Amino acid sequence: MWRKSEDSKPKSSSGSSPSSVSSAQHPRIAARQDSAVTPAAVSQGIKIKGEIAGHGDLCLDGEFEGKIHLASGTFTVGPNARVRAEIEAPEVIIRGEVIGTLKSCERVHIGSTGKLTGDMETSGIVIEDGAILNNKVGAPQAVVPEVSAGQIDPPAQPSSPEPLPRAKGAAGAS
C-alpha cells in the first residue's frame, strides 16, 4: 500500500555497504584500521633522535635517543635495541638496553636479555633471571591506616646487631 519511491533512497556509487570500499579509495580509513591491529615498529639498523608521542603499542628494535610518551599501550624494547630516553608508558617491556628514566608505568617487565640503567617509577615489576637492573625503584606510597599508641607491639630487637646479608649483585645497584 505505501511504497517509497526509488528517488528517496540514498544512492551509493560503490556498493551496498561501506565495508566494500577499497583501501585505495580511502587510505586514511585503512591506515587507522591497520594501526589498531599492528603495533608501530622500528627495526634493527634504524637510528632515531627526537620525541615519540601517541596512543597504542610501539616496538623498537633499533637505536633511539630522546623522549617517548605513550598515553596508552605497550612500549617494547627489542633484543637488539639501544635506547637512551625518558620513557612514559603504561607498560614497558625491556629485552634490549635502556639507559634513562621510566615514569608512571603500571608495569615494567625486564626480560632475561634486558638491561635497565636509570630511575624507575612503577606499580609493578617483573625481572627475569639474567636481566640486569642498575637503578632506583620508586613505588606509589602505600596507604597506612592510622594506629593509636599501644595498639601494635614494636618488633623484637635482636640481642646483638648483625649486618644484613646483601643480595647478589647489590653492590653495583647503589
CA 171 to each of CA 100, 114, 134, 142, 164: distance values in angstroms, whole numbers, following the listed order = 20, 19, 10, 27, 13
Q: Domain-by-domain residue ranges, the chain?
A: 38-136
Q: What residues form DSSP beta bridges with 64? A: 48, 83
pTM for the predicted model, two decimal places: 0.60
Higher pLDDT, 52 or 161: 52
Classify each residue of 119-137 as buried b or exposed e, where b means 16 or more C-beta atoms within 10 Å of its C-beta: ebbbeebebeeebbbebee
Name the 3-class secondary structure at 15.
coil
Block residue for cell numbers 635497565: 116
For 56-103, the pLDDT digits (tens) are 999 999 999 999 999 999 999 999 999 999 999 999 999 999 999 998
CA atoms within 13 A on the CB side of 26: 11
Residue 149 phi, psi (nearest 5) = -60, 140
**DSSP letter string over 31-69?**
HHHHHHHSPEEE-TT-EEEEEEEEES-EEE-SEEEEEEE
Q: Is the pLDDT of residue 28 over 70?
A: no
